[in-house]
Structure 1
């Protein structure tokens, strides 16, 4: 993904397993590049996504990401994970710009250098998502991006046309 190569590295280990809080109760929208990369890796990716307002979103099983190994907290597609996951725990909130999500137990480990390096990509993620899927670029609402709690799922995915566009 040229120009989209920013990645936030956080040590998520907690005891003998990984925390994986970000993999539970989250909405993870996929850019077209994410979708194609997962498709190349998995073959038929449709079993792992649901389409919401014209955008593929990773499915959840019992509130957790479909790729989460519950026993270890590891991601089954870690090396090929979506950009939204690569950017977390950075989130965008209008009025406070980009910051580390306070719900992440390791948020304090994210340096200002990382925020400066990846912040603009986090901020423009909703626009990238719309452009990636050819959705109309009308007025946008404020939202956390790119990863949002499931209760904020409407804010994580911009309004747009249905799949098949």
Structure 2
């Protein structure tokens, strides 16, 4: 996976250093990531989607598994057999049917968060199929962008930093 550094956030002060040359804009009705990516679904993602009335058997691909080394991490989100798109992507509107409840990997894409002590580095996956990467109308990955789009994820990591100091 080729990736590029775009920002670092201090989890204690929320100060952000960012690459001002990078811009991102998720394009409505694009859906390319919903076809191209294999998405891991964590237990928390499965529980949240099941609360919507779906059965895990409808959306979890138990044949595809993600590992880090020899440690099992998760299963994958199912793809539709007729076109290879995510089972939650509406093929007519190209919009996610569970957008507000989508898995964390979907929420983060195309960004990768890597925690180093009290700092979180943010990288962008340089996938050629994503038209939002370096989009001319895109937005820089500033403090405001990060807190608006990923405030809950950052807060979860901040709590872990505080606990590790206690």
TM-score (norm 1): 0.53
Task: Give unpaired runs (5+ residues) of structure 2.
Answer: 1-23, 66-71, 115-120, 155-166
Higher relative contact order (CA 8 A, sep 6+): 2
Mapped partners of 2:99, 2:124: distance in 1: 23
Aligned to 2:58: 47
1:70 matched to 2:91? yes
Alpha-carbon shift at residue 112 of structure 1 (Å): 3.0
Aligned to 2:40: 29
SS at match of 2:52: helix
CA gap 1:110/1:23 in 2 versus in 1, 3 angstroms: farther
Deviation track 1:79-129 (CA, whole Å, cap 9, x = no partner) reads 100110111121479xx97125343101122523269766xx79xxxxxxx
Mapped partners of 1:97, 1:11: distance in 2: 17
Task: Give unpaired runs (5+ residues) of structure 1.
Answer: 1-8, 123-165
Mapped partners of 1:76, 1:30: distance in 2: 16
CA gap 1:25/1:99 in 2 versus in 1, 3 angstroms: closer
Mapped partners of 1:80, 1:38: distance in 2: 6
Q: State how many pairs are aligned.
A: 106
Aligned to 2:142: 113
TM-score (norm 2): 0.53
**Does the aligned pair in 2 maintain the 1:50–1:58 contact within 8 Å?**
yes
Aligned to 2:109: 88
Q: Report the structure, 1 or 2, having the larger helix content.
A: 1
**Does the aligned pair in 2 maintain the 1:90–1:101 contact within 8 Å?**
no
Aligned to 1:162: none
Further displaced range: 108-117 or 20-29? 108-117
CA gap 1:85/1:46 in 2 versus in 1, 3 angstroms: same
**Does the aligned pair in 1 maintain the 2:79–2:85 contact within 8 Å?**
yes
Mapped partners of 2:60, 2:35: distance in 1: 15
Q: Which one has a bigger Cα radius of gyration?
A: 2
